[in-house]
């Protein structure tokens, strides 16, 4: 029987190796780190949110959303839960976010590693692939001291995000050498830098808000949640969720603004009503005291400064125009985005090999027969909440099974 080579021992690579070996294929997995699953160990802050029950539209971002939907129907979140239960890892459900019951990402990585071992997958760690080649129906993977040969190759090398885990994006180079194009990989699920000089005054503040991304003045994306203000700009889950759109828009030389509605998130109507109702009792308060109980002091000060209201001026002395400017500003607190944080701070990347260059949900290349692609290497990035790992399980499983069927049929 022909051998399957799996390039990369992360989430999608381990899943692909296990899926192929379960079909009886001979599998060799090549990993440049000293152990497999290194990036998997840090997911979910070490707790590993490995999938999510909520699979509504928009959780996966790609140029081919219908392809992603078909793939998820073939191996979705319920299949992932069942798969890991077979390996002795029951899921803990936190409002749809699913974690291993142990609460440890290491248990997921170890279970995959042990299953691969049980299936006699040859795992060659500390093995960096330098180049790949397709010749006479066979794949050659060259390393510093050895050449591996296989009848099928699964590229699951990941993206450049989180380079401290060994990620480098070498897979894009390999895919291009085998005939594929690559949509420029850019940081996603990360914070953004803002041009406003008062960002430093807000560092450390956390505030519920509705977040609206404007690209060239048009609404591009919206999220609601806790925004974290930093010395460089904005962070937090809702910012992470829209960052992939920011990365792509800035690459295209478009302008990006983030508009925060600070009334939202805690009952917009009630907050406004309380602010109005309290006027006569807070008229002698000045500065941040005028917004006491509504916003943190740092945020109150910046809001007043942007509204042009002196911090020494009592609320009872505010002009009607000043109060209208302040209330409008609270609903449209704007920041001009200059760039996203880099690969070092990004959880994933947007971009990669277009799904249109695959034959179908087998994940086989339509450029090079016997080549399969999985995980972050493909142009799919998910929202926070286990979606990127679900894509790793889905694409890895489908690629592994299809590759095994191919090598078996050729024997």
Do 355 and 288 lie in a common domain? no
If asked whether residues 203 and 181 sit together in one domain, one would say no
Q: Is 29 exposed, middle or buried (0-12, 13-18, 19+ CB in 10 A)?
A: buried
3-state SS assignment for residue 155? strand
Do residues 16 and 130 both lie within one domain?
yes
Alpha helices, H only, 119-261: 170-177, 199-202, 237-251
Measure the CA–CA gap between 140 and 135, rounded to whole angstroms: 8
Which tokens sit at 307? 């509204």
Distances (CA, A) of 135 to 122, 125, 149, 216: 23, 25, 10, 48
The Cα–Cα gap between 152 and 155 comes to 10
Cβ–Cβ under 8 Å, residues 172 and 25: no
Residues 285, 314 contacting (CB under 8 angstroms): yes
Asked if 112 and 10 touch (Cβ cutoff 8 Å), the reply is no
CA distance 391 to 380: 8
Q: Which residues, other chains included, contact 301 with Cβ-Cβ below 8 Å and sequence gap of 6+? A: 201, 287, 288, 311
Cα–Cα nearest to 60, from 363, 397, 391: 391
The neighbour count for residue 156, using CB atoms within 10 Å, is 32
CATH assignment at residue 356 = 3.50.50.60
Same domain, 253 and 402: no
pTM reported for the whole predicted model: 0.94
CB 163 within 8 A of CB 176: no
* 33 and 164 both lie in a single domain: yes
Q: 330 and 316 share a domain?
A: yes
Give DSSP secondary structure letters for 44-88: GGGT---EES---TTSEEES-HHHHHHHHHHS-HHHHHHHHHHTT
CA 61 – CA 221 distance, rounded (Å): 12
Nearest alpha-carbon partner for 116 in 87, 81, 143, 158 = 87
Half-sphere exposure of 23 (CA within 13 A, CB side): 24
Residues 360 and 284 in one domain: no
Sequence-distant (6+) residues with CB within 8 A of 173 are none
Task: Give the CA distances from residue 10 to residues 213, 333, 371, in Å, rounded to whole numbers and listed in that order.
Answer: 32, 40, 18
Domain stops at, among 314, 340, 366: 340
> Of 316, 340, 364, at which residue does a domain stop?
340
Range of the domain at 320: 192-340
Q: How many CA atoms lie within 13 A of 376 on its CB side?
A: 29
Q: Mark whether 40 and 84 lie in a shared domain.
A: yes
pLDDT by residue, tens only, the chain of 411 residues: 589 999 999 999 999 999 999 999 999 999 999 999 999 998 888 899 999 999 988 999 999 999 999 999 999 999 999 999 999 999 999 999 999 999 999 999 999 999 999 999 999 999 999 999 999 999 999 998 889 999 999 999 999 999 888 888 899 999 999 999 999 999 999 999 999 999 999 999 999 999 999 999 999 999 999 999 999 999 999 999 999 999 999 999 999 999 999 988 555 567 778 788 888 888 999 999 999 988 999 999 999 999 999 999 999 999 999 989 998 999 999 999 999 999 999 999 999 999 999 999 999 999 999 999 999 999 999 999 999 999 999 999 999 999 999 998 776
CA angle 323, 328, 333 (to 5 degrees): 120
pLDDT at res. 266:
57
Contact by Cβ (8 Å): 238, 211: yes
Q: How far is it, in rounded angstroms, from Cα 265 to Cα 147?
A: 57
Are 368 and 239 in the same domain? no
Looking at residue 234, its pLDDT comes to 98
Number of independent structural domains in the chain: 2
| Residue 277 and residue 357 in one domain | no
Which residue, 308, 340, 372, sits at the end of a domain? 340
> Does one domain contain both 100 and 244?
no
Q: Are the C-beta atoms of 16 and 371 separated by less than 8 Å?
A: no
Note the pLDDT of residue 277: 82
Whether 94 and 116 map to the same domain: the answer is yes
Hey, CA dihedral for 121, 112, 78, 395, is it positive or negative? negative
């Amino acid at each position: 029987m022909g051998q399957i080579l799996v390039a990369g021992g992360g989430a999608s690579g381990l899943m692909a190796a296990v899926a192929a070996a379960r079909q009886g294929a001979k599998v060799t997995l090549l990993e440049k780190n000293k152990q497999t699953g290194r990036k998997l160990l840090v997911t979910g802050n070490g707790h590993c949110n490995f999938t999510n029950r909520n699979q509504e539209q928009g959780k996966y971002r790609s140029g081919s959303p219908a392809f992603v939907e078909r793939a998820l129907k073939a191996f979705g979140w319920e299949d992932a839960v069942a798969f890991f239960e077979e390996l002795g890892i029951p899921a803990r459900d936190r409002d749809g976010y699913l974690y291993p019951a142990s609460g440890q990402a290491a248990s997921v990585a170890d279970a995959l590693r042990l299953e691969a071992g049980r299936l006699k997958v040859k795992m060659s760690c500390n093995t960096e692939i330098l180049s790949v080649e397709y010749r006479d129906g066979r794949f050659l993977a060259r390393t510093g001291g050895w050449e591996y040969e296989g009848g099928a190759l699964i590229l699951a090398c990941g993206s450049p995000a989180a380079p401290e885990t060994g990620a480098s994006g070498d897979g894009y180079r390999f895919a291009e050498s085998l005939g594929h194009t690559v949509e420029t990989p850019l940081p996603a699920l990360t914070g953004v830098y803002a041009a406003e000089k008062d960002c430093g005054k807000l560092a450390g503040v956390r505030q519920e808000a509705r977040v609206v991304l404007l690209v060239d003045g048009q609404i591009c994306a919206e999220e609601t949640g806790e925004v974290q203000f930093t010395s460089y700009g904005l962070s937090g889950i809702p910012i992470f969720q829209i960052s992939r759109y920011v990365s792509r828009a800035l690459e295209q030389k478009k302008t990006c603004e983030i508009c925060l509605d600070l009334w939202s998130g805690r009952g917009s109507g009630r907050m406004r009503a309380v602010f109005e109702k309290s006027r006569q009792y807070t008229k002698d308060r000045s500065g941040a005291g005028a917004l006491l109980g509504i916003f943190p002091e740092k945020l109150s000060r910046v809001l007043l400064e942007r509204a042009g209201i002196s911090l020494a001026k009592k609320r009872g002395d505010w002009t009607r125009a000043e109060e209208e400017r302040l209330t409008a500003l609270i609903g449209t607190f704007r920041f001009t985005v200059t760039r996203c944080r880099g690969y070092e701070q990004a959880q994933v990347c947007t971009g990669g090999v277009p799904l249109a260059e695959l034959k179908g949900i087998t994940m086989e290349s339509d450029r090079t027969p016997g080549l399969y692609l999985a995980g972050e290497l493909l142009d799919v990035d998910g929202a926070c909440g286990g979606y990127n790992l679900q894509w790793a399980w889905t694409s890895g499983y489908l690629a592994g099974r299809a590759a095994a069927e191919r090598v078996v049929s050729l024997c």
